[in-house]
Each structure stands twice: as structure tokens, then as C-alpha cells.
Chain A
């Protein structure tokens, strides 16, 4: 046990002696957190809209007004010419073109149905999808309201002998649909991304730094020196990984505090659950780092290999894009990724207030992964330099 403590102390000394590493461990995560949390958003804000209104009636004007009043759209230009609209799309000045054909109002009055055309810049397919659904919703609501107002008045003798004006007609199915979004009432992207970003930061310390640390020892030759000492494999590994475990947990704490202060990120669940899961996750991440270090001879190699593997993990973890959107095979692969489970846990606990029972499945997966990874890494590591 004392040996492990000695090794830990040596590790800390080596780590913090390097001024640049110091800055990276302490300053970098905070900077990353602040920067990424603000940049990493798919929020659809006031989308620039180009209006081609060939009808120029009150109805078409009111439709445009409805679109802008929602806050999701702003008029970036208007012209009767379609060519101008197209140019706006090409230049990137507008993301959506609303084209109201001539006789729109007349058509609507006459047949109760009229078309409009929406042309979207679909470079970003998912944003286009969201913009489209917003636009469709607004147009639908407009149609319903306009219908209620512009309905021609019914003058006649009703059953009660009085003139009925726009009386409710039986057989008209009117349903009131109330919508609510849980866990994110203000629809803030930061609430969703920050738990994931914290995971990224913790993973970097765990996997990247651990792998590099061992590779550095290999490169400068001190590994060989350690190998000729009487310390056992287990002691060496424990002494190597424990400091990074503590570091990662520390970074998580700092990150959580910063997230609360800077972004008002909710913490609806219990901190105990968060830290317990983080503890298990760190072991898994460190196991991966240890394994990667056995694949590299130099620091640079370790860096690149870790970077590569981390990229893979991050992309397939549901951090940026939902797992639910992936094809079936990718979803299965994602289940073998510890990052997937930890992000799920973090989001469930922080945003939804989940407890141990509700995150039992991903937590168990993490534990299994940690055990397996460590076992493989320990088996692969030999006290010889081949």
C-alpha cells in the first residue's frame, strides 16, 4: 500500500512540475466548458427568411406577420422576383424562402384551400427539418385562426329563430391539443450539452493523460527502471491510475460547480448518484487509457492513438447526435461504448432527476466494462520491455 502511495506522489510531482500541463489540467477544462457549452447548440434561432409575395393581399401579409411574430423567423429580404430569392439562398443570406403565389387569398376564399411554397436550404438536413416543422406548425395555426375569422357569416334563421352568425357546427371535431416539453421548459441547448461536455472533459483526463503518462515513461526510459524494482504489476498500475482517477473526479467537481454558476445547469438528481457513477466510469476510462498505452512506444503515438479512439467513442456516444437516430447496428455498437452509458446517466440524473434504480442498466454496463477493460489491460502489461 505504501508503495502505491509513493508511486502516486511521484506521479503528481511529475504531472504538476510541467507548467503547461498544470495549465491544461486546471484552466483548460474550464475554458473548454465555457466555450463548448455556448457553441455546441443546434438551436434554431431567428431564421432568415426571404419572402416572395406574389399575392400582396392582407392574408398573405398576415401570414408573413405570423411567421415573424413567432420569433423563429425574421424577414431577411423580400422581392417579387424568384431569381432574387434563389440568389439569397445561394449567397447564404436566407435559409428559407416563403413563396406565396398570386391569387392566394382569392383561392383560399373560394375553395378553402390554397398552396404556398417553402424552399429550404437543406445543407444542414436536421436544421432544415426543424425549420420545416416550425414553419408547418405556424402555417397550420394561421390557417385555423384565419378560418375562424374569415369564415363567411351565416345569416339565416336558425333553430331558435334568430340569425346565426358563424355558429359552431355539430360534427366539427375540435380538439384542444396542449403541448408540454418536460425537463427543458426553456428549450436550452446548454442544459442538454453540458452534462455531455463534462463527460468529455473527464474522459480526456482519464484516457488521454493516463495513456500519455505511461508512454512518456516508456519513451524516456524510466519505465524500464521501474520494472527492475520489486513492485508488482498491480502496484504499478494502481499507482499510475489512481492519481488520474482523483484528478478526473476533481475536474468533475470543478466542472459541475462552474456549470451551475455559469449556465444555471439543473441538478435535479442527487450528487451521490453522479459521483458514484463517475467513479465507476473513471475506472473504465482509465482502463482504456492503460490499454492504449500498451499500443504505443512514444508519446506522440499514444496521443494520436488515444485521440483516434476518443473521437470514435465520442461520435458514437450520443453526445452530439442522438443514439435513437442511428441505424440499428450502430445503436448496438454504441452499447459497447462506456461513454454512451455515462452520458445517459449524467443526462438522466441532472436533467430528469433519475435515481439509482432508474439508471441501473447503464450503471451495470459501466461496471462490467470497467472490470473487463482493467483485466485486459493488466493482462497485457508485462514487466518487460519487449
Chain B
């Protein structure tokens, strides 16, 4: 036992000695939390609008003032023709163009139906849709007011945003961020650490020592378990303190679930290390095989519902995907195990399978 403890102490010493890596590993999640909280937004504000109005009259001026007065739009230019429109869009100077049919006011007063065109830069489809919706809503509202009230039908939707009333994007990202941190430390660093021993040849020395294989694995893995869990908690605390990210559910449950996820990541890390011989390969393998899917396929940034149908089953293989659902459920929705038992079960199964696999392959390789 004392041998094992001495081994554990050596491992911790190794990690703490590499200041630079440690700094990065701790600073990375913090940096991301700050970025996601302060800089990364998805709101559509301050839209740059260009008006094409060849014959301005009272009506078009009224509508233009309306658009400018909402605070959503910023009229960057008023053009007499569509000639410069292409250039304005290409250089990014304008995002939306509102084009009035010539003689707009006259047509309206004669009871005819004038046309207004709304052209959006739909390169980013969602922004395009939202800008389009905002502009048409302003124009509709203008119409409604002018209309004989007795004629119009109005259905007004009262909208309630559950779980994230302020629509803060940081609330969405923090659960995924925690998963990412855990994956980075528990899987990536474990894999690299184990492979480094193999690469530098000190693994053989360990093997001829009185340490048993399971002691070697747990000795190597335990520091990263602690480090990963600590990093995740510090990320969570930072998010709560700086951005008031909610924690509506039970904290012990959250800690337990993150521990479960750490075990899954550790299993994956050990598995990766058993298949690679060089550190570089281990890192690349972990980055590609683990970090990338975690970032892309877990629902962390890109919603799972947006993915094409054929890709969705693949996301079920990514452990982070299940953890993100659990973390969001606990933090944002405040639900307990009754709603999350299915996801927890999946993680538990993954942990069990991976750990068994890791131990078996490790033992076979060590001889």
C-alpha cells in the first residue's frame, strides 16, 4: 500500500512540475467561460439596413423612420437605385435592403397595392431569417395601424421563454464546456501521460517494480480524476459567480454525474493509450477521436435537432452528448434523476464497458 502511495505522490509531482501545461489546462476552460459569457452571442442587433427609394414621399419616409426608430436597425445608406446594392452586400456594409416601388405613396392612396421588397444577406441562414422576420414585422405593424381597425384580425402571441428567460448564450454553453474540460483532462491528458511512460521506457521500470498492473493504472489515472473533477468544479463556480449561470437542480446529483462522466473519459483515455505508441499519436488520436466529436456532436454548440437525420445515431456514441443533456437538465431545468435516469444509465454502461476493456487491453499489452 505504501508503495502505491509513493507512486501516487510521484504522479502528482510530475503533473505539478509541468507548470506550463497545467496553466493551459486550467486557463483554457476559464478563457472559454469568459469568452462565451462576454463575447459569443447569437443575438441579432444593430442590423445594417440600406433603403432603396427612388421617389421618397411621405409614406416611404414614414416607414423608413419607423424602421430606423426601432433600435434594431441602423440605416447605413439611402440609395436611389439598386445599382450599388451588390457592392454593399459583398463588402458587408449592408445586411438588409428595403426597396420601395417607385410611386409608393401614390399607389397606396389610390387603393392599389404597392410593393416593397425586403432582401436579406442570407449567407448565415438564421440571421437572414430573423432579420427578414423583424423587417416584415415592422412593416406589418405599420400596416395594421393604418388599417381600419374593424377590418383586421389580430392574433397576438404571448411568448414565454422557459429555462433561460434572458436567452443568455452562456447558459447554453457552460454545461457543454464542463464536458469539454472533463474530456480534455481526464481523457487527453491521461492518454498522453500513459503513452509518455511507454515512449520514454519508464513503463518497463514500473512493470518490474512491486506494483501490480491495476495499481499502475489507478495510480496513473487517479491524479487526472482529481484534476479533472477540480477543473470542472472551478469552471462551474466561475460561471456561476461571473455570469450567474443557474444551478436549479441538486448539486450533489450534479457532482455525482460529473464523476460518472470523468470515469467514462478516463476509460477512453486509457483505451487510447493502449493503442498508441507515441505521445503525438496519442494526442492527435484523442483530439480527433474524442475532443472533436465532443465539441461538434454533443449538442454543445450545434443543436442536435439541427443535424441531419443520418448523423443523429452517431451522436449517441459520444459520451459527452449524454452528459450535456444531464448537465443542462440539472442546471437549467432543475430536474432530478426521475427525468435523467435514461441518460445516467447510458453513461454508467459506457463507463463499465470502457473500464473493463481498458483493463483487459492494458494487461494483455503488458508482458
Contact with A along B160-172 (1 / 0, CB 8 A): 1111111111011
Q: Which of B65-73, B233-241, B305-313 contacts A (4 or more CB under 8 A)?
A: B305-313
Q: Is A42 an interface residue (CB 8 A)?
A: yes
Contact between A119 and B160, CB atoms less than 8 A apart = yes
Q: How far is the CA of A179 from the CA of B136 in the complex (A)?
A: 8
Which residues of B from 99 to 148 have beta carbons under 8 Å from A? 108, 111, 113-130, 132-134, 136-137, 139-140, 142-143, 146-148
Count: A-B pairs, CB below 8 Å? 337
What residues on B are CB-neighbors of A376 within 8 Å?
none
Q: Which of A182-190, A234-242, A253-261, A281-289 contacts B (4 or more CB under 8 A)?
A: A182-190
Which residues of B from 37 to 61 have beta carbons under 8 Å from A? 38-47
Q: Which of A86-94, A244-252, A367-375 contacts B (4 or more CB under 8 A)?
A: A86-94
Contact between B302 and A42, CB atoms less than 8 A apart = yes
What residues on B are CB-neighbors of A183 within 8 Å?
89, 121-123
Contact between A112 and B332, CB atoms less than 8 A apart = no
Contact with B along A135-152 (1 / 0, CB 8 A): 111011011101100110
Closest approach, in angstroms, between the C-beta of A94 and any C-beta of chain B? 11
* Smallest CB gap from B111: residue in A: A170
Q: Is A218 an interface residue (CB 8 A)?
A: no
Which residues of B from 253 to 309 have beta carbons under 8 Å from A? 278-281, 283-284, 287-288, 292, 296-297, 301-303, 305-308
Contact between A296 and B20, CB atoms less than 8 A apart = yes
Contact between B119 and A301, CB atoms less than 8 A apart = no
What residues on A are CB-neighbors of B307 within 8 Å?
38-39, 41
Contact between A171 and B296, CB atoms less than 8 A apart = no
Contact between B164 and A123, CB atoms less than 8 A apart = yes
Contact between A140 and B140, CB atoms less than 8 A apart = yes
* Smallest CB gap from A179: residue in B: B118
Contact with A along B14-46 (1 / 0, CB 8 A): 000010110011011001100110111111111
- Could you say which interface size class chain B belongs to? 35 or more
Q: How far is the CA of A150 from the CA of B366 in the complex (A)?
A: 80
Contact with B along A274-309 (1 / 0, CB 8 A): 000000000000000000000011011101110110
What residues on A are CB-neighbors of B128 within 8 Å?
181, 184, 187
Contact between A112 and B154, CB atoms less than 8 A apart = yes
From B21, B108, B172, B306, residue with most partner A Cβ within 10 Å:
B306
Contact between A122 and B167, CB atoms less than 8 A apart = yes
Contact between B42 and A108, CB atoms less than 8 A apart = no
Q: Is A65 an interface residue (CB 8 A)?
A: no
Q: Which of A1-9, A223-231, A310-318 contacts B (4 or more CB under 8 A)?
A: A310-318
What residues on A are CB-neighbors of B32 within 8 Å?
311, 315
Contact of B28 among A212, A300, A308 (CB under 8 A): A308
Contact between B283 and A300, CB atoms less than 8 A apart = yes
What residues on B are CB-neighbors of A17 within 8 Å?
none
Contact between A123 and B332, CB atoms less than 8 A apart = yes
What residues on A are CB-neighbors of B126 within 8 Å?
42-44, 126, 130
* Smallest CB gap from A306: residue in B: B24
Q: Is B205 an interface residue (CB 8 A)?
A: no
Which residues of B from 63 to 108 have beta carbons under 8 Å from A? 87, 89-92, 95, 108
What residues on B are CB-neighbors of A129 within 8 Å?
42-44, 130, 167
Q: How far is the CA of A198 from the CA of B119 in the complex (A)?
A: 28
Q: How far is the CA of A177 from the CA of B95 in the complex (A)?
A: 18
Number of interface residues of A (CB under 8 A): 118
Q: A173-B143, A358-B91 are in contact. Are A139 and B42 (CB under 8 A)?
A: no
Contact of B31 among A38, A185, A312 (CB under 8 A): A312
What residues on B are CB-neighbors of A32 within 8 Å?
288, 292
Q: Is B365 an interface residue (CB 8 A)?
A: no
Contact between A189 and B125, CB atoms less than 8 A apart = yes
Q: How far is the CA of A28 from the CA of B115 in the complex (A)?
A: 51
* Smallest CB gap from B298: residue in A: A39
Q: Is B152 an interface residue (CB 8 A)?
A: yes
Q: How far is the CA of A342 from the CA of B355 in the complex (A)?
A: 44
* Smallest CB gap from B130: residue in A: A133
What residues on B are CB-neighbors of A178 within 8 Å?
115-118
What residues on A are CB-neighbors of B108 within 8 Å?
173, 175
Contact with B along A21-39 (1 / 0, CB 8 A): 1001000100110011011
Contact between A41 and B306, CB atoms less than 8 A apart = yes
Contact between A112 and B149, CB atoms less than 8 A apart = yes
Q: How far is the CA of A264 from the CA of B119 in the complex (A)?
A: 24
What residues on B are CB-neighbors of A353 within 8 Å?
90
Q: Is A330 an interface residue (CB 8 A)?
A: yes
Contact between B163 and A121, CB atoms less than 8 A apart = yes
Q: How far is the CA of A229 from the CA of B91 in the complex (A)?
A: 49
Q: A123-B164, A305-B24, A325-B41 are in contact. Are A116 and B157 (CB under 8 A)?
A: yes
Contact between A127 and B130, CB atoms less than 8 A apart = no
Contact with B along A160-201 (1 / 0, CB 8 A): 000000001111111111111111110111011000000000
Interface residues of B (CB under 8 A from A): 18, 20-21, 24-25, 27-28, 31-32, 35-36, 38-47, 87, 89-92, 95, 108, 111, 113-130, 132-134, 136-137, 139-140, 142-143, 146-169, 171-172, 192, 196, 278-281, 283-284, 287-288, 292, 296-297, 301-303, 305-308, 311, 325, 328-329, 332-333, 335, 339
Can you name 6 A-B pairs with beta carbons within 8 Å? A113-B154, A126-B42, A127-B305, A189-B306, A307-B24, A361-B91
